[in-house]
Amino acid sequence: MRGQLEGRTVLNLDRPRPRADHRPGALFAGTGYSALAQAAPLLVNVALTPVLIRRLGLDRFGLWSLVLLLLFTLTSLDGGVSASLARFYAYRGARGDRAGAGRLLLGSVLLFLAFGALVTGACLLLAPAVGLLHVAPRLQAEAAAVLRWLGPLLALALVSDSASSLLQAHGRFRALAGATVASCAAYGVGVLLWVRGGGALTALAAATAVRFAVLAAVALLLGRRHLAGGRPLLPARAERREFLGYALRMQLSGLTVFLNGEIDAFVIAALLPVRYVGIYAAGYQVAAALRSLPLYAFPPVLTRLTEVYAAGGTPAAVREYRLRQGHWLPAVLAYGAVTTVAAPFAVRAWLGPQLALAGAVAAVLLAGYSVHVALTGMRTCLVRAVGRPGLETRYSWFATVVNTLLTVPLALAFGTVGVVAATAVGLVAGSLRFVALCRPLLGADPERPAAADRPAGRLRLRPVVAGAAAVAVTVGGELPLLRLGWHGLLPLLLAGLPVLAGLTVAAAALGLLPGRSEPDSTGVEPS
């Protein structure tokens, strides 16, 4: 694949190539802005969820949660296009091929609009059948109305993903953060002004559409310098074939995202009243928000690994991976331990004791997410950068099989918690499978340091002690707050203080606090 890309872009090699700043400080700055871009929607949702539950009621909130889960599922089933764009934008950016990036953008937008139109037609046909779900008769008309928004929301969401990927691929994380914050502000204002009284669900769908539209428009405005027009308008057949071959493998992985996570909500909707979908969604939202914090490093790391691969091939990319993985594994495991024990306290502080079940959902999911992100995070960036997404697909399907086999027995035994427990166990099993699958690829670096890539079971004692101390500090701080019985946004912020204390203890014990420079993959200290 790499040779094909180089052969196709040879005519553009005389263009000036942008020189990215690869110093560790630049990577950390990119991670910070990436964190802001990804945290802004999560923070807005955390702030607005109590408002939505109060204005919509738990039944309508559960219905809206089901619509959002449908939207997320469909965005994951777009043929793998959105998940592949950042990699191909980055490769074209490294070659100075602005016209190729423009063709890629236009082609993806047309494809997403067609997908949205197809879903719109399907929803118009299926909307009258909402009674098949556990939706109260008084809400079925509203459910049918909001379902008709699914197609337009899908198209806007995917177009905004394409525009965001353009900024990400060129290391424009500050611009991406600005576009995301603007879109979240527009959404928050829309919710506060429009979502009240009759037609609240339709107004909420309109506010969501405004959010995606603002994100797409601002991201394209800020990223226009990376694009160029010209004929042909769309990628050539060979380019389409290569992109779609890569995207198909990414889609197989994306399908497992649905089977390993989003299907939980549909299982719950099939077995229980729709309000339990809202309870599950609240717990899932907390787990996803806490899981996402380590993932903020992914966009700049993926961009960096892709650029290293374009310049030095697989061995150079593997060396860069090892540089990151040695710090990533113990840090993410310690973070996961702290957030898993803190999740039930956070949910009670946020939404009150009546939604304590959501706290249990969050804790079980976080236990699985933590191991999954620790073992697969840097490996995922590596296999995508070097064009080997098939490895990701294989482990994802392994996790899916385990999850599927366990879901029904655990659901019958433990209800909602059993459903998410099956997901957590499947993720852990799949992560261990991914570690095994990546071993031949990691052997491509003849200079590999063996200590940088040890699996979780062989971690040294120091990270284990750091994690245990951090957990003790966190629980010790959360228990007094729990006895106060407060809930709301301010108690949620207070519940975050013991978490910060625990993470600080872990960072200090692992030697991850700022103050030491880190050499880049060439072994040269930054000046």
Reduce the secondary structure of 431-483 to three states and give it as a string: HHHHHHHHHHHHCCCCCCCHHHHCCHHHCCHHHHHHHHHHHHHHHHHHHHHHH
| Confidence band for 275, pLDDT divided at 50, 70 and 90 | confident
Q: What is the pTM of this model?
A: 0.69
pLDDT at 66: 86
Displacement of CA 460 from its chain's centroid (Å): 29
**pLDDT tens-digit map of 24-76:** 445 555 567 777 787 888 889 888 988 998 899 888 988 898 899 889 888 98
Q: 131 and 122 in contact (C-beta within 8 Å)?
A: no
Non-local (6+) Cβ contacts of 331 within 8 A are 294, 506, 507, 510, 512
Structure tokens at 168: 């990400």
Peptide bond connecting 232 to the previous residue in cis, omega within 30 degrees of 0: yes
Q: How far apart are CA 105 and CA 341, in angstroms?
A: 43
Burial of 523 (0-12, 13-18, 19+ CB in 10 A): exposed
Mean of pLDDT values over 349-375:
92
Q: At what angle do helices 24-76 and 140-147 cross, to 10 degrees?
A: 120
**pLDDT tens-digit map of 173-209:** 899 999 999 999 999 999 999 998 778 999 999 999 9
**pLDDT tens-digit map of 365-385:** 999 999 999 999 999 999 988
Q: How far apart are CA 336 and CA 4, in angstroms?
A: 40
